[in-house]
């Protein structure tokens, strides 16, 4: 009898949490997945420890097993370090401002969080984020730029099968960069379009600069603009992240391109992700500079605001 009461109570608990998940992610038919139940248990157990990170079972990947999440096509970064791509050198650190806090989201240089869907185009979202920020700082005009243009047209990448921000910055030197509204995102590979509205005219992107592989290098670069960074994002802490600072549980096998937008008061980095606003802290995540390889592959575009659109 006691066992029956426990089973009913457990089922009711999962029913409530499944309803909360569906309220955020949309109606799902069928039985509650075992993966979701396991993740609820994992979330409750980890949150009870009162650690640096709070997890959630209402995020977009809470009904996946860890293996399904790792196999999903929601990342897509591929390093271009060995391709000999041209750049404009290394970012020069200014030791006087390395420790300063700064938040480009509150300074009008970051567009709203976007969603790459099941397309390994994270690199394109990181690229447009870097370009959007640099163009706003150069011209005072914040324009949402087209990830789909990079997916379709940047022949140095593999579209939904991956690419790199450095390669995309280099490609953008020879073309006009389209607005999001004139070249909409489809989350799949498509044919390159030549008709669109320009957000950055041809010649507006002059290159990119690499950032020293260190915490001071990244925090220094963030003093002048948002920075495109590669991280490892296939672990459970990313799958179920809700809030707090990731200080453990994250490796350095880079597989995801994102945008660093803020140096927090504790020295951690606020990152804009491309998994929609229902993931994480309204689409953002805070990462310690020692975690996820966040200082391993960082760069930002250099633009000229004097070129006429």
Residue from 39, 91, 160, 273 carrying the catalytic annotation: 273
Answer yes or no: 91 catalytic.
Answer: no
- For the question of residue 286 being annotated catalytic, the response is no
Q: Which residue among 39, 115, 160, 256 is the active-site one?
A: 256
Which residues have CB under 8 Å from 267's CB, separation 6+?
A: 99, 215, 219, 288, 289
3-state secondary structure the chain: CHHHHHHHHHHHHHHHHHHHHHHHHCCCCCCCCHHHHHHHHHHHHHHCCCCCEEECCCCCCCCCCHHHHHHCCCCCECCCCCCCCCCCCECCCCCCCCCCCEECCCCCCCCCCCECCCCECHHHHHHHHHHHHHHHHHHCCCCCECHHHHHHHCCCCCCCECECHHHHHHHHCCCCEEECCCCCCCCCCCCCCCCCCEEECCCCEEEEEECCCCHHHHHHHCCCCCEEEEECCCCHHHHCEEEEEECCCCCCCCCEEEEEEEECCCCCEEEECCECCCCCECCEEEECCCCCCCCCCEEEEEECCCCCC
Confirm whether 119 is a catalytic residue.
no
Out of 122, 153, 250, 262, pick the active-site residue.
122
Q: Known catalytic residues?
A: 122, 256, 273
């Amino acid at each position: 009898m006691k066992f029956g009461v426990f089973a009913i109570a457990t089922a009711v608990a999962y029913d409530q949490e499944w309803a909360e998940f569906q309220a955020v992610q949309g109606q799902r038919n069928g039985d509650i997945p075992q993966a979701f139940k396991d993740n609820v248990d994992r979330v409750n157990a980890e949150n009870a420890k009162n650690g640096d990170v709070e997890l959630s079972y209402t995020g977009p990947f809470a009904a996946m097993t860890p293996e399904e999440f790792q196999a999903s096509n929601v990342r897509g970064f591929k390093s271009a370090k060995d391709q000999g791509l041209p750049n404009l050198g290394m970012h020069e650190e200014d030791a006087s401002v390395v420790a300063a806090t700064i938040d480009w989201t509150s300074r009008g240089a970051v567009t709203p969080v976007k969603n790459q869907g099941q397309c390994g185009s994270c690199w394109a979202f990181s690229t447009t984020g870097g370009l959007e920020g640099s163009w706003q700082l150069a011209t005072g005009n914040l324009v949402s730029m087209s990830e789909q243009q990079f997916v379709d047209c940047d022949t140095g990448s593999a579209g939904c099968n991956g690419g790199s921000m450095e390669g995309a910055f280099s490609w953008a030197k020879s073309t006009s960069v389209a607005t999001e509204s004139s070249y909409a995102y489809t989350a799949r590979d498509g044919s390159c379009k030549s008709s669109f509205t320009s957000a950055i005219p041809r010649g507006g992107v002059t290159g990119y600069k690499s950032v020293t592989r260190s915490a001071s290098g990244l925090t220094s670069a963030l003093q002048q603009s948002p920075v495109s960074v590669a991280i490892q994002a296939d672990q459970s802490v990313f799958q179920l992240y809700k809030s707090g600072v990731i200080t453990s549980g994250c490796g350095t096998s880079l597989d995801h391109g994102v945008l660093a937008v803020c140096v927090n008061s504790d020295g951690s980095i606020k990152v804009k992700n491309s998994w929609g606003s229902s993931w994480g802290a309204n689409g953002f995540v805070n990462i310690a500079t020692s975690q996820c390889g966040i200082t391993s592959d960082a760069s930002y575009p250099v633009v000229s605001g004097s070129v006429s659109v």
